[in-house]
Amino acid sequence: VSSNQFEDRVCVETGNAAEWVRDKENRFDVVFANPPYFEPGRISAPGAEKAGAYLESLSLDGWIKAMAFAAKPRAPVVIIHRAAELARILSVLDRLTGEITVLPIASRHGEEARRVLVRGRKGLKRGQVHLLAPLLTHTVEGQASPELNAIRHGEAINW
């Protein structure tokens, strides 16, 4: 945060979402999370140093509910996760948010998306879910795509 000179505009919170969110209701203008991707027992156990990054200690549903709880009314709630979990993500977000937009992220043209960015706005009425064209991270030749290079240089994703 400080290396990008965001300390006066950005608050980064870390920890178990189920615990830290209790005193943060309606506090944040935007809530973004990259929660652990796997339920315990679904993958080979990672090393102890990576377990917290890979294995859920709070369910995906719990993460999304905590994010919505911490967001101010009408604020965006954004999650990046495995594309295989999109149905679970949408089932929870659909009850808590509106204006849902899904941005699939694929390595190359013609490949399935492995990740999705999903955004909804807290408390808005249910509506259409917008499924965008995938963001491609690499060209056919295997080079970083212009979009990936822009992200690496701190530019925003236009979605």
- Long-range Cβ contact pairs of 18-24 (< 8 A, separation 24 or more): 18/58, 18/62, 18/66, 21/66, 21/69, 21/70, 24/69, 24/70
pTM: predicted TM-score of the whole model, two decimal places: 0.82
Whether residue 99 lies inside any domain: the answer is yes
Domain membership flag for residue 10: yes
The reply to whether 60 falls in a domain is yes
Domain membership of residue 158 (yes or no) is no
Burial class (CB in 10 A: 0-12, 13-18, 19+), 41: exposed
Closest to 94 in 3D by CA, of 135, 57, 130, 134: 130
Q: What confidence score (pLDDT) does residue 52 get?
A: 52
pLDDT by 10s per residue, the chain, length 159: 567 667 788 877 776 777 777 788 999 999 998 887 666 556 555 566 654 555 556 788 988 999 999 999 999 999 999 999 999 999 999 999 999 999 999 999 999 999 999 999 999 988 889 999 999 999 999 999 999 999 999 899 989
Total count of domains within the chain: 1
pLDDT at 40: 56
Question: What pLDDT sits at residue 21?
Answer: 74
Residue 159 belongs to some domain of the structure? no
pLDDT for 137 equals: 96
Domain membership of residue 145 (yes or no) is yes
Q: Which of 81, 115, 78, 74 is nearest to 98 (CA)?
A: 74
Domain-embedded: residue 157: no
- Structural domain for 97, as ranges: 2-152
CATH number at residue 93: 3.40.50.150
**What confidence score (pLDDT) does residue 46 get?**
52
Give residue 36's pLDDT. Answer: 75
Contacts of 77 (CB under 8 A, 6+ apart): 31, 64, 67, 68, 71, 93, 96, 97, 119, 120, 121, 122
